[in-house]
Amino acid sequence: MTSKELKALGIEVENLGTSTGSKWFSKGGLIASYSPTNGKLIAKVQSSTKKEYEKVMQEAEKAKLEWRDIPAPKRGEIVRQLGEKLREVKPLLGKLVSYEMGKSYQEGMGEVQEMIDICDFAVGLSRQLYGNTIHSERPGHRMYDQYHPLGIVGIITAFNFPVAVWAWNAALALVCGDVVVWKASEKTPLCAVACQKIIADILKANKLPEGISSIVTGDKGVGEWISSDERIPLVSATGSTRMGKIVATTVAQRLGKSLLELGGNNAIIVTPSADLKMTIIGAVFGAVGTAGQRCTSTRRLIIHESIYDKVKKSLVDAYKQIKIGDPLDIKHHMGPLIDTDAVDMYLNALEKIKEEGGKLLTKGEVLQGKGYESGCYVTPVIAEVENHYEIVQHETFAPILYLIKYKGELEEAIALQNGVKQGLSSAIMTNSVRESELFLSQNGSDCGIANVNIGTSGAEIGGAFGGEKETGGGRESGSDAWKVYMRRQTNTINYTTNLPLAQGIKFDL
C-alpha cells in the first residue's frame, strides 16, 4: 500500500494505539507492524500502559450511562452510519487487511463486506430486541421478560480476521446499549487503528461520548487487564483454545460472562454419492483460503474408500493449479502466513506427520526468491494420515489438509469427524437425503456449524456463528446471538387489590 492510501485510513508512520473516540494517547513501547507480503515495515503503534487503560475504562464507565438511555433504534442509526462509511472505504480497508494480515485481496474485501452485513443486520435488530409476554397462574397478574444493556463489553480479537470479528461484536453490542473496549491482535494493530478512526468520526459528528468505542493496544497483558476487570461483565474473546481457557478461567473467577470463539479442526465427509466437482472446489478453498489460517479452515477430508483414490488424484491435480504470491494481486489464490513463527509451526507439523507415519502427497516447503522475500510464503500440503495421530488431533494454523479413509457406513465417518476435541464447523458432501439428515441429526455432527454440500468456510452473518467442546461454546453474529450482550429480566405486575401467592401458597395475617 502507498503512504497516501494509509494516510486516507488515518495511518501515519507512527500511530498512537490507545483511544477513546477520537482522543488518542499512548506512552507504552512501540509495536511494529510488518507486512507478511513483502516483509516491509508498514507503521508503528504505541502500546498502552495500565494508567492509560484506566483512563479508557473511566471514559467507558461514563459513556455507558448516556448510551444506554438512548432508544435502541437511535443507537441503530449510529451503526447504520458505520455501515455506510464502511461501504465508502471498503476498497482501502480491504486492501489494508490484505496487506497487514496476508489474506488475498478478494478475502480482504469480503471481510469488510462482513462488517457491512453485520451493521445492516444490527440496524434491523435495533427495532427487534424482543422479550416475551408470559401468562401468569395468578389472576390479575401480567408477566413478561425484557432485556437491558450489560454496560461495557470487552472484545479480544485474533489476527486472522482483524476487522470483521470486532464488527460482529461491536455492531450488536452497540445496538444493545453497550459500549465496547477492544484489544486487537498485536500482529494486526493498524487494522484496529483504522476501524477506531472510522467510528470515532461518526461518534464525534453525532456529538456522542468518546467512550462508546475504545481501543487498547498491546500484548497479552492487555487481555489480562480486560479479563480480570470487574467493570466488564462480558468478555468476547477469539483466538486459540489455550488463550480461551485462560480468559474463561479469569472471567469465571469474578463470575463474569465470556463469549469464546476458539480453535477448529474442521472436516468434510465425502460420501460415495457426492458431487466430486463441488467437493474439490469446497475442499481446496476451505484448505488454502487465508493460507489455512481461518478457524473454519478445512483440516480433514474423510473420504469413503470407494472414491478415495479418485478424490485424492483430483485434489493433487487441483493443488498444482494454486497460484501463490502477493495477495494484492488477484491472480493469486493464496498469500503468505502471518509471520515466520507461523512458518516454523507449519514446518514442525510436516515433520510430525512423517514421524507418526503419515505420507505427504504434495511437497511442503518455504518459497524463496523474487516475490517471496518476507519468508512467509509456503506451499499448501495434502497428507494421508490416520485420525488418531496426535498432530491431526490438534489444530495447525496452516494450509495442511489431511486425507482420512473410511470403509463402512456413514456412522463411521461421523465418529471420525467428531473424534477430535474441537467442534466448530463441519460439512458433508452427499446426494442422499438420508445421509444429509443423519449428519444433521442429534446422532450426527457435534459441531456448532454443520453444512450439506458446501465447505466448512464462508459462514453468513445471518446465522449464529460458533462451536462446541474446545471451540468454547460461544455464539456471535446472527440469529439470537444478540441476547448474550444483554441481561435478561423477568417482570411480574399485580394490578389487583389482592396478593395471591404463586403455587397456591397461603400466608394469611
Size (the chain), residues:
509
Is-contact 288 399, C-beta < 8 A?
A: yes
Which letter, b or e, does each residue of 235-256 get, where b requires 16 or more Cβ atoms within 10 Å of its Cβ? bbbbbbbebbebbbebbeeeeb
From the candidates 59, 210, 261, 476, which is the catalytic residue? 261
Catalytic residue list contains 261: yes
Residues 421 and 201: their CA atoms lie apart, in Å, by 43
H or E stretch covering 93: helix 72-101
List strands edge to edge, sheet with 133-134.
Answer: 133-134, 141-149, 486-494
Residues 13 and 438: their CA atoms lie apart, in Å, by 55
- Separation in Å, CA 27 to CA 46, 193, 217: 7, 16, 11
HSE-up of residue 368 (Cα within 13 Å, Cβ side) = 2
Q: List all residues 6 or more positions away from 125 whose beta carbon is below 8 Å from its beta carbon.
A: 76, 172, 175, 482
Q: Which of 122, 235, 211 is nearest to 171 (CA)?
A: 122
End-to-end CA distance of the chain: 79
Question: Nearest 5°: CA angle at 271, between 268 and 274?
Answer: 90
Question: What is the separation of C-alpha 340 from the centre of its chain, rounded to a whole number of angstroms?
Answer: 22
The cell for 225 is 487487564
HSE-up of residue 385 (Cα within 13 Å, Cβ side) = 28
Residues 505 and 351: their CA atoms lie apart, in Å, by 70
The cell for 42 is 508498514
**In 223-296, where do the E strands start and end?**
234-238, 257-261, 266-270
Which letter, b or e, does each residue of 314-331 get, where b requires 16 or more Cβ atoms within 10 Å of its Cβ? bbeebbeebebbbbbeee
- Separation in Å, CA 184 to CA 192, 214, 330, 489: 6, 11, 27, 32
The secondary structure of the chain in percent helix, strand, coil, rounded to multiples of 5, reads 40, 20, 40
Q: List all residues 6 or more positions away from 52 whose beta carbon is below 8 Å from its beta carbon.
A: 18, 25, 26, 27, 28, 216
What's phi and psi for 361, nearest 5 deg? -90, -20
The cell for 254 is 469474578
- Write the Ramachandran bin of 197: left for phi over 0, alpha for psi from -120 to 50, otherwise beta: alpha
Catalytic residues: 261
